[in-house]
Chain A
Amino acid sequence: MNAGQLPRWVDFGLIPLLNLTAAFLVSGLVVLIIGENPIEVVQVLLWGALGFGEGVGFTLFYATNFIFTGLAVAVAFHAGLFNIGGEGQAYIGGLGVAFACLALDQVVPWWVTMPFAIVGAALAGAAWAFIPAWLQATRGSHIVITTIMFNFIAASLMVYLLVNVIGEAGSMQPETRTFEDGGRLPFLNDFIPFADFGTAPVNLSLVLGLIACFGVWLLIWRTRLGYEIRSFGANPTAAVYAGISPVRTIVVTMLISGGLAGMMAMNEIMGSQHRLLIEFVTGYGFVGIAVALMGRAHPIGIVLAAVLFGMLYQGGAELSFEIPTITRDMIVVIQGLVILFAGALEHMFRPALVQFFTMRRLNAAQTG
């Protein structure tokens, strides 16, 4: 049952669509169990996500986070690595952004700070991915487990740093001081005159995310490094035969992956919160797995999936206002179902479809 047996549009279109539909149908069931009307829920959700400028703004803001974490997971996928540590890498990425902003925000304008913040975010995220990568490459420790462990280590480290080291003196909150204008990315509202995103914090990071998408596409399918990454991911033995170093490939891929995850902090910290605070990642890293799976590890797919999840996040927030019995946790449930159906159960409909298309081909052959 390999991919060749089905037309491409089924593989890349129909199957993801069926998986998604299944996830939403079960979500509807959950809504029914709570005693609400699924149709109404869908209406509120869609309206909340797309019905007005501010909603769209928030949708795009959340989507930006998902683009970065989704790309991070996808790049690692291409090398056959499962980076489940986007959560921790994004969290530590916040440190890089914060250092740049805290150092520069009072002396230079934002556009000078920005490149430093990007480099800081990417370096910090990459650094956090480096140890699991290096251990996988040289000692064979399973990267899934080590990156999970590093998520928790990151959480402890960040709390410690924010409480004891870089937290604002005299404040009870575990957070840094708020950045001045020199440490704030402009909102899209500020430089697109006709945009009407209201108070939505969608900012320049969205553009950065789209550039990153193009960059990843270029990297994976057009560069020699991408060729090596894909070779190693698809057949590590053949890669060694071809003179591709496993250690180098694993480490470099994970550095890129970690760097992309770290850049998520640009959107949250420099783009929206304007200070470093605890738990700003709250699951975006994990959702990146779902985004990468649904987007089939392709940048275009990832953008589409990220927007979908952005809609869920924003629509879900609206939902909890309109229908109080449905809390924001509904979104967590839907995410879980999407990960389940689009990820773990991605082949559930495949045997039936293969049978259907084989039958049709046979029939066509007989009649034609």
Chain B
Amino acid sequence: MNGTPAIELRKINKRFGPVHANRNIDLVVKKGSIHGIIGENGAGKSTLMSILYGFYHADDGDIVINGNKVSIPDSKSAISLGIGMVHQHFMLVDNFSVLENVILGAEGGARLAGGVDKARQELRRLEEEYELRVDPDAIVQDLPVGLQQRVEILKALFRGADILILDEPTGVLTPAEADHLFKILEVLRDEGKTVLLITHKLREIMAITDTVSVMRRGEMVATRETSQTSMSELAELMVGRSVLLRVEKEQAQPSDTVLAIENLTVTDSRGVQVVKDVSFEVRAGEIVGIAGVSGNGQSELLETLAGIRRATSGTLRIGGQVIDLADRIIDPAEMRQLSMGHVPEDRHRMGLVTSFPEYENAILGYHHDPEYSNGVFLDLAAIKKTAQTEIERYDIRPPNPLLKTANFSGGNQQKIVLAREIERDPQVLLVGQPTRGVDIGAIEFIHKRLIEMRDAAKGVLLVSVELDEIRGLSDRILVMFDGRIVGERGPDASEGELGLLMAGVEGEAS
């Protein structure tokens, strides 16, 4: 093993139209190390890795692999240079077997017969060498996500990858699965492979990497030996100033129950129970946070309460009404009638019609209000007036209600949703991932608004995968694991304690 770095990037630039996604990036990655790249959402990490994997072309700059200057026009070149990538959204063919997925693109001949047998042997060897066990004949869509990710790693190794890029690999994993992944990565490093780990989670960086580089707004701002740095230094580098992780707030003054759920069970379209016998209540004047690794039923819970998803059984009490969910289908319009606001987890997919001008999104879901329509026609003047008011009150920029919503930044789009839901003055507000992909300034603003809602004696139910956000905002924390609520803690619960609950290790009734 000599001193030549596995990867060297020099002055990489990439623009998407007006967005300068990567600006003069320099990066050196040592052979046989685990190198972390950390940064907020939208810092340009994924773009940089996509350039390295030949998915995008850099506008200018050099890529040097193992000491040789190379060009990577497509993924094929990346693969032949020994670069493998595990994408955030798996690049698997769902209805293919594991084996078929692994050999795709590396079949070893025009006929499949010969290559398949060789691949089977090679897979067995890889399984043993790296403890990557998975049934080669299983159909991918039947596998849990942790195993699907393993297939992705196998794919890369099967192609002889020496450099493995993992893009936010733990987002879909439980802490236990993530730990297992980290063990695999350590084995890979010890075998001489180079691992590039892309993440926005500080904990992971500290736990596993040898070296860490920090990206901020398209620039590479620092590189540190992991042993020589700290979480707080990295956090500061990520956002460019010291972060206030604590949200300033008074003690909560909870009063009457405004939302109560009893024995709620939800089954998804595949017939799998995703929410299992969940009961809790939210009182006026408190924020109840639901913590959990994504994919443990929080999204389904939120969507069911909002009337988007159908429950199999359970009772809902809201606004003086008791609704038996087994008997009756509720819909989102009805829930709004019952004074429930909903800031959905994914504003692009659900919260906004991004091709509409801003003012049309200001009434999405409230277009039935007599204020905005007489039953047949829309009252455009009233709608635009509402939009204008909200723009001013929430400092939405640019302050132009006629502008297409897609042309607002992530933070401003989130403010459009938040304004719409809060300004209808609901008794109960459901909030999902309120600050995902939102810049720091807007995060503070959004957090303040949620606290204000609470202080105005409204009930807020907050779902977030960001533990810091949950701990900072909530007055009570419920932890979800595998569709159940496995525990309730106060806002001062330690990260470790919550982490164990989230992993399902300390399953207990609350």
Contact = CB atoms under 8 A, between A and B. Distances in A.
Is any CB of A less than 8 Å from a CB of B in the complex? yes
B306 interface: yes
Contact of A223 (B307, B342, B376): B376
Given A227-B367, A230-B356, A241 B375 contact: no
Given A223-B377, A234-B356, A241 B350 contact: yes
B365 A2 contact: no
B308 A241 contact: yes
Given A5-B17, A241-B342, A243-B307, A222 B404 contact: no
Contacts of A230: 353, 356
Contacts of A235: 349-350, 352-355
Contact of B351 (A5, A228, A231, A241): A241
Contact of A238 (B306, B333, B364, B373): B364
A224 B332 contact: no
Interface string A1-23: 01011000000000000000000
Given A4-B407, A241-B342, A224 B368 contact: yes
A131 to B, nearest CB: 24
A230 to B, nearest CB: 7
A243 B332 contact: yes
B332 A240 contact: yes
Given A224-B376, A231-B364, A241 B354 contact: no
B378 to A, nearest CB: 6
Output the residue of B352, B364, B380, B407 with the most chain A CB within 10 A: B364
Nearest to A361: B18
Contacts of B317: none
Q: Do most interface residues of chain A lie in helix, strand or loop, or is the interface mixed?
A: helix
Interface in B333-372: 333-334, 336, 342, 344, 349-356, 360, 364-365, 367-368
Given A5-B17, A227-B367, A228-B367, A243 B331 contact: yes
Interface in B124-171: none
Interface residues of A, number: 22
Contacts of B380: 222
Contacts of A222: 377-378, 380
A242 B407 CA distance: 21
B406 interface: yes
Contacts, number: 74
B331 A245 contact: yes
A4 B408 CA distance: 12
Given A241-B308, A243-B332, A245-B331, A224 B406 contact: no
A199 interface: no
A190 to B, nearest CB: 36
A239 B333 CA distance: 11
A37 interface: no
A245 B377 CA distance: 18
A237 interface: yes
Contacts of A239: 353
Contact of B406 (A2, A241, A245): A2
Contacts of A223: 376-378
18 contacts: A223-B376, A224-B368, A224-B377, A224-B378, A234-B354, A234-B356, A235-B350, A237-B349, A237-B350, A241-B308, A241-B332, A241-B350, A242-B333, A242-B364, A242-B367, A243-B333, A243-B368, A245-B331
The 9 closest A-B pairs by CB, nearest first: A243-B333, A242-B365, A243-B332, A224-B373, A235-B353, A241-B350, A234-B353, A242-B364, A234-B355
Interface of A: 2, 4-5, 222-225, 227-228, 230-231, 234-235, 237-243, 245, 358
Given A224-B375, A234-B354, A239-B353, 12 more contacts: A5-B17, A223-B377, A224-B373, A224-B377, A235-B353, A235-B355, A238-B350, A241-B344, A241-B365, A242-B365, A243-B334, A245-B331
